[in-house]
Structure 1
């Protein structure tokens, strides 16, 4: 949190630095090939800040529930993901009870259902993953570099990890429910009393299940100490509770183009877990020709409604079900994995030095100029904070796997993720994988550039 600004006498005020100049990188911006898969993602991100306990997201049937409108009646079967990202703040200075996040799965059938947990992670802001200042580019081979719980969760799942808190398999008897997560968001001892928890779990069920995420203040023992809610207490909240409060800002309908847009936060089931793409010149060829020396082109990442960087492509996952006061799409694609292949081809007669970068240009829908706009001094606000996995053969022909942690601010062009010295006629496959992290602000781009100077090759 930013400290309170000290108000200085007028005579002591320091000059305000001039606004950063815009720098235009003249180039082509291309839509990203491929598409989202059809795996449903339970996306619980509204309300982001929870002050009153209740239902965050329920896909249970509404029959028999006290508040039918709090239940979206969406069954899962086969592969599905669960994403949750919520913040707890003490409602009053003297109420420092922990807020528990519960994720419950229910088997409506008569036969037992097996739910396999492939990957999963959940972290708090404090103490697990505080928002610390990090360099814009850090090697992250061991996965120890992160800032914020969403960053750390995506980092774990990208590496295929399953935290010990999650069993490899859950067996739910017919007609019964089980807790997938029952974890606190403590605020006591924190200044300010504010904390957050991010969660991402990848699962497969061999039968129908319903899911719900719920928020409940910690019940207390006779001695006044906190305890975790029981399954019965969670079921009572699910059956008799209403939506958690306060509600976030109501989103602007997508067809409304005459006013500033409010994207809203997501509470519903989005369609998509992976965006896979084999990026080539066209669907008819198996290679991606590198740019001419001194030239570059970019592929849009996580584009949103009215923020497509001139491509006209909206990558935000469509919502299969949602609450009426929450986002119309899963803007930002939090928790979705981009799995991209770039089969680069140097079709020139001379060696070329090629770089691949991830960048955060200024958001536009239609490009004002033929290229991307950056800032000479990037803005203060962090727009992307996460780890990218790279796979490629280096100049010696050895297969490399690298993990790079990036911190990019508004308008930041970013450093090269990969530098390849490609001989004439050389072909080199580069793989780029990332899970789009919570707290990031879209869109970004993946840029391929051929440098002018090849004297040192």
Structure 2
């Protein structure tokens, strides 16, 4: 993005209320996870009541659940012993005197044993198959939401009798596993919801009994950091009701004026200079919940790009946040791209700091080229992404630069491995033993004849040897010409002289090492 700027999307969330159950993310045992009915429940950690995230749904609604099970009882972790099992269930509560019918349009529930994640096979960009259940539970549920599908395990319709409770959906979560659920539906009357964890069971009354006991599930690690959560110094997880399960934006851009960069899932920390915050608010929350839905898990993003330009371009998805941490998996999810050439879905495994082309765009001159990018943001991804449309040359130049730097790093590593571990090679300008002897003779000649009774001379110290210094070259000058219908903006261009300079440094280092080895053999 050198010399370039990102543009805000100026999109909007809808106002559909969504129950988010993600705090505590790591559940240690049975209990209530979140409840929107009036009242409170006792936290095991403090033995004090915590107020419920009170909210009454009526009409369209959504549900997002994401939890891991690490039992406090280590004997249930598995290994040689049988692994513990925990049931995660969403419960609908009808407080009124009339029956309420829930109808579900799309949704899915998966755990990490039904939808395991294989990172070695799924990094980079790959076409998405019809049943991508090896992409982890967060992406597996998001794919079905992206496609508008309703998992066969979920009911299309559920009637809640007056003043009663019904289990909407449940899944069994083995210890050290992850469960994720996404639902979208509507009701014909007011109702409330709760999510509970219970010892493995599919009995509806046993699941409802967890709600009646009024104890919160253990694992609430942020109860002693409430002030930091409110001040924004600490991001907890979300337990409450967020307003919005879809974000839509439309932008028009003339690529003759330069590449397009827009934030996707931007946050208060990472908005790329646009000051656009794509985070939806919470209407109600538990006291140890995050103050807003900063993860945007389960939110569908539909970004319409109306592009003017001609020729081949790359649609690029990036996570350019410099965090100071080693690279981590910043996104593992699925993206749909619709253009004049049709619709395609790709799975993207993206590390922090990476920019990956997710589609080729062949734009026609003299007309608008509509492109829609859609994704349901999956759990276990890290917000702060950038969506770009750039000339194919710009990404090719970036790749050549990355390859050159990687080759330099590998050459440096190979050189260091070839050095003897018992003695370091000399520096490029380190004096040899013969140089030291010659220098001593000259000093003696200047000092004149030795005295008649000299004191025993000490043996001259051997010059200290060091590794040759071969620093990487400075960053290249970022200059690019503009010409014709396909102007190149200021981009990451690696001058030829940088490659030549780097190669010369390593030649010098190799010659110095060979000279050092010859001297060792002559001793």
Normalising by structure 2, we get a TM-score of 0.69
CA offsets 1:135-178 (integer angstroms, 9 cap, x no match): 31001142426422101110111111111111111111111111
- Offset, 1:239: 2.4
Is 88-97 or 108-117 further displaced after alignment? 88-97
Tell me the residue number matched to 1:436.
377
Q: Does residue 243 of structure 1 match 2:216?
A: yes
Q: Which runs of 5+ in 2 are unaligned?
A: 77-82, 395-482, 487-523
The change in CA–CA distance for 1:355 and 1:185 in structure 2 (over 3 A counts) is same
Residue correspondence of structure 1 range 88-99 to structure 2 within 5 A: 88-95=69-76, 96-99=83-86
Tell me the residue number matched to 2:267.
304
Larger of the two Rg values belongs to structure: 2
Tell me the residue number matched to 1:313.
276
Specify the SS of the correspondent of 2:281: strand
The change in CA–CA distance for 1:51 and 1:432 in structure 2 (over 3 A counts) is same
CA offsets 1:315-371 (integer angstroms, 9 cap, x no match): 11111101111101111200000011111123xxxx43222211111158xxxxxxx
- Offset, 1:106: 1.2
Specify the SS of the correspondent of 2:142: helix
- Offset, 1:31: 1.9
User: Which of 312, 319, 322 is the equivalent residue of 1:360?
Assistant: 319
The change in CA–CA distance for 1:44 and 1:64 in structure 2 (over 3 A counts) is closer
User: Which of 355, 364, 380 is the equivalent residue of 1:413?
Assistant: 355
The change in CA–CA distance for 1:136 and 1:47 in structure 2 (over 3 A counts) is same
Q: Which runs of 5+ in 1 are unaligned?
A: 1-23, 188-193, 219-226, 281-287, 365-374, 395-399
Q: Does residue 404 of structure 1 match 2:369?
A: no
8 Å CA contact 2:29–2:71 kept in 1: the answer is no
Q: Does residue 116 of structure 1 match 2:108?
A: no
Specify the SS of the correspondent of 2:208: helix
Tell me the residue number matched to 2:238.
266
Q: Does residue 85 of structure 1 match 2:58?
A: no
Is 120-129 or 380-389 further displaced after alignment? 120-129
Q: Does residue 334 of structure 1 match 2:316?
A: no
CA offsets 1:111-151 (integer angstroms, 9 cap, x no match): 21111111111111124323432131001142426422101
Tell me the residue number matched to 1:18.
none
- Aligned residue pairs total 385
- Offset, 1:37: 0.8
The change in CA–CA distance for 1:252 and 1:450 in structure 2 (over 3 A counts) is farther
The change in CA–CA distance for 1:439 and 1:62 in structure 2 (over 3 A counts) is same
Tell me the residue number matched to 2:113.
126
The change in CA–CA distance for 1:158 and 1:269 in structure 2 (over 3 A counts) is same
Q: Distance in 2 between the 1:143 and 1:54 partners?
A: 33
Tell me the residue number matched to 2:183.
201
Q: Distance in 1 between the 2:70 and 2:101 partners?
A: 36
Q: Compare the two structures and name the one with the higher strand fraction.
A: 1
Q: Compare the two structures and name the one with the higher helix fraction.
A: 2
Q: Does residue 289 of structure 1 match 2:216?
A: no
Q: Distance in 2 between the 1:148 and 1:422 partners?
A: 35
The change in CA–CA distance for 1:98 and 1:275 in structure 2 (over 3 A counts) is same
